[in-house]
């Protein structure tokens, strides 16, 4: 048995997730953990190629979902599962909740099909069941505020160019996922200042037992 930790960050574009990745990585490293920092879509050479297509090319929601899950399969098999088996911390910027939120709720695509793909890609582990994050930090922010934060911050990609109504649906999709799997989710009030958001992140990690005390360091 390993004590690998699979931690994901979720939320609409501009919610502020990425702003805390460096500090989270440092927090785990200070406790002697090896951190594999990764993202979706992406995380392997093949998945990064698929990411470019997903974020740039117009396509129908089924094609988008298949590509997202194809990228995820490569990522899971090549990076996430081996890292967890070694006992590492996998710090992943988005995972399958994003597919239910963006393709399912945002694009109004059939969530039964998404659940089937989820079983194919994250299943096949026998008694271990579906591969799911141990903890998911959900950065919850009103789409209007996220849009203000993103304005001028970077060149918008295919999703970031969507109207605010799209992000309202995506946000509702995240809320539904959080209700459906409440023990895994931690809601972060992302409307607060960066320092306050960080405090919430740190508190959540301690509360979920994800952070061993610093004195207990090296594993």
Ligand X SMILES: Nc1ncnc2c1ncn2[C@@H]1O[C@H](COP(=O)(O)OP(=O)(O)O)[C@@H](O)[C@H]1O
Ligand Y SMILES: Cc1cn([C@H]2C[C@H](O)[C@@H](COP(=O)(O)OP(=O)(O)O)O2)c(=O)[nH]c1=O
Binding site per annotation, positions for ATP: 11-18
Location of structure tokens 């005390």: 213
For residue 104, give the DSSP letter.
I
Nearest distance from C-beta of residue 178 to ligand X, angstroms: 16
Nearest distance from C-beta of residue 3 to ligand Y, angstroms: 26
Location of structure tokens 């320092």: 195
**Which of 7, 47, 67, 197 forms a contact with ligand X (CB under 6 A)?**
197
Q: Pick the closer one to ligand X by CB: 34 or 192.
A: 192
CA nearest to 9, candidates 84, 82, 97: 97
State how far the Cα of 87 lies from the Cα of 89, in Å rounded to an integer.
Answer: 7
Return the residues of window 86-145 that contact ligand X according to CB under 6 A.
Answer: none
State how far the Cα of 188 lies from the Cα of 199, in Å rounded to an integer.
Answer: 10
Cis peptide before 182 (omega within 30 of 0): no
Is there binding between residue 18 and ligand X (CB under 6 A)? yes
Nearest distance from C-beta of residue 159 to ligand X, angstroms: 10
Nearest distance from C-beta of residue 19 to ligand X, angstroms: 4
Which of ligand X, ligand Y, none has residue 15 at its interface (CB below 5 to 8 Å by kind)?
A: ligand X
Which DSSP string do the residues of 2-19 spell out, in sequence order? ---EEEEEEESTTSSSGG
Residues that bind ligand X (CB under 6 A): 11, 13-19, 149-150, 153, 193-194, 197
């Amino acid at each position: 048995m390993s004590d690998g930790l699979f931690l994901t960050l979720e939320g609409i574009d501009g919610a502020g997730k990425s702003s805390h990745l460096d500090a989270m990585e440092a927090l785990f490293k200070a406790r002697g953990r090896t951190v594999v920092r990764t993202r979706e879509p992406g995380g392997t050479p093949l998945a990064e190629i698929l990411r470019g297509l997903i974020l740039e090319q117009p396509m129908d929601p089924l094609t988008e979902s298949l590509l997202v899950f194809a990228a995820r399969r490569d990522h899971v098999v090549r990076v996430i599962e081996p890292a967890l088996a070694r006992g590492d911390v996998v710090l992943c910027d988005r995972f399958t909740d994003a597919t239910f939120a963006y393709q399912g709720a945002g694009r109004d695509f059939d969530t039964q099909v998404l659940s089937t793909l989820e079983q194919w890609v994250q299943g096949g582990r026998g008694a271990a069941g579906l591969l799911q994050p141990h903890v998911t930090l959900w950065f919850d922010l009103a789409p209007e505020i996220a849009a203000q934060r993103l304005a001028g911050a970077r060149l918008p990609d295919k999703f970031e160019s969507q109207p605010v109504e799209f992000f309202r649906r995506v946000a509702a999709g995240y809320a539904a996922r959080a209700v459906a799997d409440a023990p895994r989710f931690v809601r972060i009030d992302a409307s607060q200042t960066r320092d306050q958001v960080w405090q919430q992140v740190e508190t959540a990690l301690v509360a979920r037992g994800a952070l061993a005390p610093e004195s207990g360091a090296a594993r």
